[in-house]
């Protein structure tokens, strides 16, 4: 399936990129498309992530915290 922005319906993530993580929120290794989200630095190791269409807050991208070495986690 496709995960979309709750505010505007913009397509964000594919269920194929979802994986189990210790956080209580869904975790993804990549976005659906390059324009699915916008990112800006927030603190070392983390980027603030917003919807690429409407700017709705989506949380963070944690750098090098994915299921494989070197992968990020959304």
**Residue 23 pLDDT:** 79
Write down all domains in the chain, each with its CATH number in brackets: 2-62 (2.170.150.20)
- For residues 20 and 54, give the distance between their C-alpha atoms in angstroms, rounded to a whole number: 27
**Residue 53 pLDDT:** 98
Would you give per-residue pLDDT tens digits along the chain (74 residues)?
Answer: 999 999 999 999 999 999 888 878 889 999 999 999 999 999 999 999 999 999 999 999 999 988 898 899 99
- The angle at the Cα of 51, spanning 49 to 57, to the nearest 5 degrees, equals 55
Rounded alpha-carbon distances, angstroms, from residue 44 to 24, 33, 48: 22, 24, 11
Q: Where are the beta strands (DSSP E) in the chain?
A: 2-4, 11-14, 18-19, 27-28, 37-43, 46-51, 57-62
């Amino acid at each position: 399936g496709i995960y979309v922005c709750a505010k505007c319906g913009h397509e964000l993530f594919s269920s194929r990129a979802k994986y189990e993580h210790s956080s209580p929120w869904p975790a993804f290794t990549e976005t659906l498309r390059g324009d699915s989200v916008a990112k800006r630095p927030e603190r070392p190791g983390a980027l603030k992530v917003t919807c690429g269409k409407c700017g709705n807050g989506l949380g963070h991208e944690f750098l090098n915290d994915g299921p494989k070495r070197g992968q990020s986690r959304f």
